[in-house]
Amino acid sequence: MLGVRRRFTCRSWYTVAIVLSTFLLLVLLAARNEAQGQSAAERRRERFTGTGVVDAEGPANDRVHERRAGRPDRGTPQEAQTGFDNATNGFDPQGPAYDSLTHDNVVPLRSFNDNRFIFEEFETIGDGLGPTYNAQSCRECHQNVVTGGGSQITVHRTGRVTDGEFFESLGGSLIHSRAIHPDVMEFVAGTDNVRTFRLSTSTLGGGYVEAVANSTLLAIRDAQPADMRGTAVVVPVLEAGGSVRIGRFGWKSQHASLESFAADAYLNEMGITTPLLPDENTSMGRGVAAYDDVADPEDDGVDVQAFANFMRATKAPPRGPIDAQVTTGDVLFGRIGCAVCHTPAITTARPGTRVNAGAFTVPEALGSKIIRPYSDFLLHDIGTGDGIPVLPGEEYAGTATRMRTAPLWGLRTRNRLMHDGLAFTVEEAIQRHRGQAEPTRRRYEALDSAEKRALLRFLSSL
Ligand code: HEC
Ligand code: HEC
């Protein structure tokens, strides 16, 4: 009896000890995960803190210099190359036949085709995919009508506003919609009262946009009437150690350089860490190290350069057919004020200009080129702001209610419009213009039906 009881006591102590130590271990693990999550978030915040002042990057090229008759000199701007044809704009050689490339013979940075292969490549768990992610390849979201274009795929962003201050969701404002393990799946926090979808934008012609001088964007802003004036967002260039430049890429112009955007997308859309952003994302603020066997940085940075160079070498979206009605619409577009924000033409900086806070020199293929983006790449409050600032904090608070003027080049290849994709037709998109675009929208509504038809025909030629 006694012996039995003693044995029983002994066993229960043993059980208690196991339960206690398991509990302690779990608490410690949770704390460690939390700490990992927190310090990664802090380090990320540091990398996105800009330093220095915005450099002009040469004189403003805000006017279209039409090509002079006779031999154009080096400084005379030329039309940028356009085409949906998977062909280089001259920034890189075209390279070996695309269909001849394989994982074994592709050479990053050798050519347009090599870099396109890498942009299209699917990443696997062994390459570092996830643990939280949105898709396996850049091309999954950037594919219409050729690689590098946009698509109907949206990403999910949420946060909350408490006492007028914006807080990102637990693991950042981007909520990943896929994970490599069910335990690290991310969900929107119930307290997140700011929610949006954002469509995948096109990167075609991105090299030209990157080659636009800061002074040019600021000159466009300064020429806008006060009640329509755009906001130039000052953002750090990651590959320039955080030195700042005027942003132009993404729905909030949250990046100024293609290499920075590529590093950001590789981490945030695919879960691949690189030297520019070496810390893995969390799952709703919890560390995910237990699910990730690949050492950081998961890529040595070459892929990021290949993505950037692929986009730099893409041609801008080409125009559709132009007839008399389209030309009439073009004139109306200018007359009623659409062109104030949707800037029809911009000239890139001269070849040899140092841009990206010194990290990139504009080459011949991208310099002194006239682009027709129908955007000023500035942010405006037209009543559609999604409530999510570029980053939390005082500096970017004003960006919550503003969106980048959607570049209208390539408009005829998109059937879901505005950042959230919730305008189903071009006319619905125009109807959503309020705030800084209110007087312009009113002037659109006042057009007679033939004028409206001409304007819409013009828009569908872009
Ligand atoms: C899951 C879909 C998805 C994947 C995968 C993805 N992107 Fe994107 N991309 C987006 C969305 C959505 C935006 C707009 C985001 C925003 O502004 O908040 C965007 C915007 C961009 C832009 C800005 C273009 C402009 O001017 O607006 C660049 C550059 C870009 N992506 C590059 C890349 C690269 C490089 C990769 C691969 C490493 C990649 N993306 C992978 C969805 C994706
Ligand atoms: C004050 C600046 C401003 C003016 C003026 C303006 N827009 Fe916009 N436009 C924007 C912004 C900002 C967006 C993006 C809004 C969003 O996604 O929430 C946009 C988006 C659009 C889109 C959607 C494009 C896409 O790919 O999703 C169309 C089409 C458009 N504008 C046409 C026009 C037309 C036509 C006019 C003149 C009647 C006009 N806009 C006047 C700033 C302006």
| Per-residue pLDDT tens digits for 341-382 | 999 999 999 999 999 999 999 999 999 999 999 999 999 999
Q: What is the pLDDT of residue 158?
A: 97
Are 21 and 88 in a shared domain?
no
State if residue 272 touches ligand 1 by the CB under 6 angstroms criterion: no
Q: Is 131 a member of any domain?
A: yes
- Given a cut of 60, whether residue 335 has pLDDT beyond it is yes
Residue 154 structural domain? 78-459
Residue 332: CB within 6 Å of ligand 2? no
* pLDDT confidence tier of residue 439, bands split at 50, 70 and 90: very high
CA-closest residue to ligand 2 atom 39: 338
Place of tokens 């290499």: 259
Identify whether 63 is part of a domain: no
Residue 392 structure tokens: 């939390």
Mean of the pLDDT values across residues 443-447? 98
Give, using CA atoms, the residue closest to atom 41 of ligand 1: 138
Q: Is 147 found in the same domain as 218?
A: yes
Same domain, 41 and 86: no
User: If residue 360 lies in a helix (H) or strand (E), which one and from where to where?
Assistant: strand 360-361
What's the CA gap between 423 and 402, in Å, rounded? 17
Q: Is the CB of 426 under 6 A from ligand 2?
A: yes
User: Ligand 2: which atom is nearest the Cα of residue 414?
Assistant: 26
pLDDT, residue 45, reads 76
> Is 454 touching ligand 2 by the criterion CB < 6 Å?
no
Q: Is 342 close to ligand 2, i.e. is its CB under 6 Å away? A: yes
Structural domains in the chain (count): 2
Give domain status of residue 309, yes or no: yes
Cβ–ligand 1 contact at 307 (below 6 Å): yes
Check whether residue 43 and residue 144 sit in a common domain.
no
Residues contacting 289, CB < 8 A, separation 6+: 33, 36, 280
Q: Does 28 share its domain with 82?
A: no
**Tens of pLDDT along 127-175?**
999 999 999 999 999 999 999 999 999 999 999 999 999 999 999 999 9
Do 139 and 26 lie in a common domain? no
Per-residue pLDDT tens over the stretch 20-65: 666 665 555 555 555 555 676 677 778 888 899 999 999 998 654 4
52 located within any domain: no
Same domain, 188 and 276: yes
Ligand 2 pocket, mutate which of 201, 253, 401, 418 (most atoms under 8 A from CB)? 418
pLDDT > 90? residue 92: yes
The answer to whether 270 and 136 are in contact (CB under 8 A) is yes
Is the model's pTM score more than 0.75? yes
Residues of the chain with pLDDT > 90, as a percent, come to 85
Among 11, 34, 29, 32, residue whose Cα is nearest residue 283 = 34
Q: Is residue 352 part of a domain?
A: yes
If you take atom 10 of ligand 1, which residue's CA is the nearest one?
Answer: 200
Task: Identify the residue whose C-alpha is closest to ligand 1 atom 36.
Answer: 138
Residue 357 CA to ligand 2 center (angstroms) comes to 30
281 with 220, same domain: the answer is yes
Return phi, psi of residue 321, to 5°.
-60, 140
How do beta strands 165-168 and 174-175 pair? unpaired
Residues 28 and 171 placed together within one structural domain of the fold: no
Q: What CA–CA distance (Å, rounded) separates 419 from 400?
A: 13
Whether residues 113 and 32 fall in one domain: no
441 in the same domain as 293: yes
Ligand 2 centre to CA of 307 (Å) is: 28
For the segment 85-90, the average pLDDT, to the nearest whole number, is 98
The confidence score (pLDDT) of residue 10 equals 47
Look at residue 68 and tell me if it is in a domain: no
Q: Quick one: which atom of ligand 1 is closest to the CA of 261? A: 29
Residue 76 pLDDT: 86
64 occurs within a structural domain? no
- Residues 405 and 316: their CA atoms lie apart, in Å, by 17
Model confidence pLDDT, tens digit, residues 286-330: 999 999 999 999 999 999 999 999 999 999 999 999 999 999 999
Is 180 touching ligand 2 by the criterion CB < 6 Å?
Answer: no
What are the E-state strand segments in 108-241? 132-133, 151-162, 165-168, 174-175, 178-179, 194-200, 234-236
In a domain, 72, yes or no: no
pLDDT of 74 over the 90 cut: no
Residue that wins the pLDDT comparison between 120 and 25: 120
Name the residue of 121, 155, 212 to mutate for ligand 1: max ligand atoms within 8 A of Cβ.
155
Q: pLDDT confidence of 221, banded at 50, 70, 90?
A: very high
* 235 and 291 belong to one structural domain: yes
User: Is the distance from the beta carbon of residue 301 to the nearest atom of ligand 2 less than 6 Å?
Assistant: no
> Among 342, 443, 453, 459, which residue has the most ligand 2 atoms within 8 Å of its CB, making it the best to mutate?
342
CB 30 within 8 A of CB 290: no
